[in-house]
Amino acid sequence: MEKVKANIDLKNEVIKIRGLEKSFEDYAVLRGIDLDLYQGENLVVLGRSGSGKSVLIKLISGMLQPDKGSIEVLGYQLANIKEKELQELRTRIGFSFQNSALYDSMTVRQNLEFPLVRNRKGITRKEIDLAVATVLEAVGLLQTINQMPAELSGGQRKRIGIARTLILNPEVMLYDEPTAGLDPITCIEINDLINEVQQRYHTSSIIITHDLTCAKSTGDRIAMLLDGQFQREGTFEEVFDTNDDRVKPFFDYNFIK
């Protein structure tokens, strides 16, 4: 599916990062990065494995604390936020984990109901049933509602994981390697789903990947993380219109191997 041009509001920054640094012991993972995510945008953070991409979204979600710099998410400065406010903020952020993070002992229905019951006090059974059916229909898997995660394919588990984040109607989506470990056809389906979520739910998303097909298919803008900093930024074509020895082999490996 060809990507539909997104309606991006360049005057509305939903995430603003300035001077962000993070090290683990003597290894500097992020070295003073700046990054903005705009309303309605799919922003791809591209880089090799171990480049700090997943660390970045853990910092954005408050799962890790930076050494230096500032992170503003939906108007909240994470450095100053109280625990209760952080928990409320997280309900406005959908986090799609690389391994889907489904509870193996729960059915698909129960996995989707769990965040609703935990975060929406007083919600009725009718409202729960409607919400579950709506997100399953959105990811094309209504027929799996009573199945266990072990009965699903890898691509189906990815879709259910995305459905579980959508059930709280998040404003921001964070995708961590959404196509990792999937066959090429399923990767295309997941890429299409990410674009459908953007259009249907009007989300602003950061997509962490080292998959160039995913980046090209889903990204309105690409930011390439190299040596702990964003070295190139723009459209897919702009990022790879270079003879930079750090960038060209990355392109060649994905498309010429």
Helices then strands, counting H and E runs in the chain, come out as 9, 10
- Contact in structure between 216 and 236 (CB atoms under 8 Å): yes
Q: How far apart are CA 223 and CA 231, in angstroms?
A: 8
pLDDT band at 99 (very low <50, low <70, confident <90, very high): confident
What is residue 254's predicted lDDT score, i.e. its pLDDT?
60
The CATH number of the structural domain formed by 9-92+171-256 is 3.40.50.300
pTM (2 d.p.):
0.92
Q: Under 8 Å CB-to-CB from 25, ≥6 apart: which residues? A: none
What is residue 255's predicted lDDT score, i.e. its pLDDT?
55
Tell me what the mean pLDDT of segment 242-250 comes to. 80
What is residue 41's predicted lDDT score, i.e. its pLDDT?
97
pLDDT tens-place string over residues 31-74: 999 999 999 999 999 988 778 898 999 999 888 999 999 999 99
Beta bridge partners of 95: 174
From 143-147, 210-214, 246-250, the region with the lowest mean pLDDT: 246-250
What mean pLDDT value characterizes the chain?
92
From 64-73, 155-164, 238-247, the region with the lowest mean pLDDT: 238-247
Tell me what the mean pLDDT of segment 191-197 comes to. 96
State the distance between the two ends of the chain, measured CA to CA, in whole angstroms. 24
Return the beta strands (E) in 113-228 as ranges.
172-176, 204-209, 221-226
pLDDT tens-place string over residues 136-148: 999 999 999 999 9
Residue 133 has pLDDT above 60, yes or no: yes
Q: Which residue type, as a one-letter code, is found at position 58?
A: K
Q: What is the DSSP letter of 152?
A: S
Domain ranges in the chain with CATH number 3.40.50.300: 9-92+171-256
Residue 257 has pLDDT above 50, yes or no: no
